[in-house]
Amino acid sequence: MLAIDTNILVRYLTGDHPQQSVRARTVIDGDEVFVSTTVLMEAEWVLRSVYGYARAKLADAFSAFAGLPSVTLEDPMVAATALGWMKQGMDFADALHLAKAEGCEAFVSFDRQLAKAAVAVGVVTVRTP
């Protein structure tokens, strides 16, 4: 199994670079690959902020990618939960943080938008200190 970096995932999903995209497809389609949660989070940020992808489109693309037989996610249940919340409008990084905090009494943050988004999707309570 090969662990892939963010740039491999981005090239695979966008197909925007003639040589690198082909090489990324060769790796992902030809080998079993491991994708860490941090790679997913960074790829989401790159695709949203640099490429202008909408959250719903990203959630669908990541879900389809995660379903490939050659792909193993570090924490598939957390990723699936976070992608679901992202489809409901939550920031992906925030959704990952909250998904990892399930089972805790609360998630403490100064981010009021995060608290509001958490209430909207009915997840872990977010408290301000």
pTM over 0.85: yes
By CB neighbour count within 10 A (0-12 exposed, 13-18 middle, 19+ buried), where does 84 fall?
Answer: middle
Mind listing the pLDDT tens digit of every residue in the chain (129 residues)? 999 999 999 999 999 999 999 999 999 999 999 999 999 999 999 999 999 999 889 999 999 999 999 999 999 999 999 999 999 888 999 999 999 988 888 889 999 888 888 888 777 788 888
The pLDDT of residue 60 is 92
Distance CA 86, CA 70 (A): 24
Distance CA 68, CA 101 (A): 27
Compute the C-alpha angle 30/87/101, nearest 5°.
90
